[in-house]
Amino acid sequence: MAEISHNTAVNGNLIPKGTHDDTKPTLLLVLSSVRGSDNTPEWQRTLSKFNILYYDCKTVDEFCSRLQPGGPYANINAIVRTGWLKAGDFAHHLMFRGRPIELYPPSLQFVGCSGHGYDAADIEAISQRGIAYANTPDTCTEAVANTALHLVLNVYRYFTLAEHYTRSDRWLDSREIGPVAVDPCGQVLGIVGLGDIGMAIARKAAYALDMKIHYHNRKPRPVLEAKLPNGATYHDSVESLVRAADCICLACPLTEETRHMISAPLLAQIKDKKIRIVNIARGGLIDEDALLEAMYAGQVVGLGLDVHANEPGINPGLRDNYRTTVLPHIGVASQTTWSKFDEVNLNNLEEFFFGDKGKVTLVNRASIPA
């Protein structure tokens, strides 16, 4: 067995040196420019247990070419994509849907990718190829929940508008905020999706802002409700939740069923009610045209978005509206998150090939033989 030593190369990536070892699985490693430290036990074990190939394709077409028989990726056993998916040269490379899946080699057994969501992957097509797909749940919970708390406070207090006036030397204009600003204490926060992130948002809003928590989920979660200071109220539909809530916070996955969850028909059901909306999940959950109409009509009186329908970039109707708070899908951005992404991704990889597959956070477990 060849010995492997490693040193730090460009961008801080650890490059293993040595010959290919046929007794080890071959890993295609896709690294973001923003990620955790290389100096961890998980990285050391990965570098010692796998033959490593580093993804450096300029385009997805080049990736497809390298997957072809005889290509450099023709015999890979695993792909792991780790770090911040929205950063670096590969940010827009869709590697886990479309044509690449058709070209995955028969040797490929496992795909791991950072993040709670997996809407950028075609799980059904990957499963049909018999390939396991793992995400990294509960790794960016705190970072995203803290971002949501910031946005909730902003949709009530209009701090983004206040900062704009301050930086523009319009101190007196900022006084128009006084009559419309509201403290969120006692208000009903309606959370769509009481998963890890949704629950963290509920906890922070209840304890820090003294808000009442209502939620919609696929099913009630009484155990989680009991962990909140004043419990929580379950709604079996989004429509019911929107009627009850003062502020809606979207923390659910984007699926065909949830796409444009916030829509003109939904908003029409509460046309006589003023509401605030926060979205830290996926931009496609909101019909932005309907949202803008509701804002112009004075129905949506506070808006905080970390995600947008057409990223990168935001709707032109929001760009210069400082009554809204808009962020560049940065809720996840925390050193804590990057470290957890790597830890879970690499532990999943190691357990899949050398340990207990039952410990791997597989998205498609039901479709993959044990």
Residue 106's CATH number: 3.40.50.720
* 14 has a pLDDT exceeding 70: no
Residue 36 vs residue 12, higher pLDDT: 36
Residues 200 and 185 in one domain: yes
Assess contact for 78 and 109: CB atoms under 8 A.
yes
185-212: burial string, b at 16+ Cβ within 10 Å, e else: eebbbbbbbbbbbbbbbbbbbbeebebb
- The lowest-confidence range among 306-315, 319-328, 361-370 is 361-370
Residues 134 and 169 in one domain: no
Average pLDDT over residues 297-317: 94
pLDDT in the model for residue 2: 30
pTM for this predicted structure: 0.84
pLDDT in the model for residue 9: 38
Assess contact for 250 and 285: CB atoms under 8 A.
yes
Residues 13 and 47 in one domain: yes
Q: Left if phi > 0, otherwise alpha if psi is -120 to 50, otherwise beta: which for 137? A: beta
Residues 111 and 239 in one domain: no
CA-closest candidate to residue 294, choices 259, 313, 318, 314:
318
Residues 280 and 147 in one domain: yes
User: Which active-site residues does the annotation give?
Assistant: 282, 311, 329
Residues 54 and 165 in one domain: no
Domain tally for the chain? Answer: 2
Residues 67 and 189 in one domain: no
pLDDT in the model for residue 370: 64
Residues 262 and 201 in one domain: yes
Residue ranges making up the domain that contains 50: 5-139+335-367
Residues 44 and 91 in one domain: yes
Residues 165 and 304 in one domain: yes
- Mean pLDDT, the chain, rounded, equals 91
Considering the chain, what percentage of its residues have pLDDT values greater than 90? 84
Assess contact for 130 and 105: CB atoms under 8 A.
no
pLDDT in the model for residue 294: 95
pLDDT tens digits, one per residue of 19-54: 688 889 999 999 999 898 888 999 999 999 999 999
pLDDT tens digits, one per residue of 182-223: 999 999 999 999 999 999 999 999 999 999 999 999 999 999
Residues 112 and 23 in one domain: yes
pLDDT tens digits, one per residue of 129-152: 999 999 999 999 999 999 999 999
Residues 221 and 319 in one domain: yes
- The lowest-confidence range among 7-16, 149-158, 174-183, 354-363 is 7-16
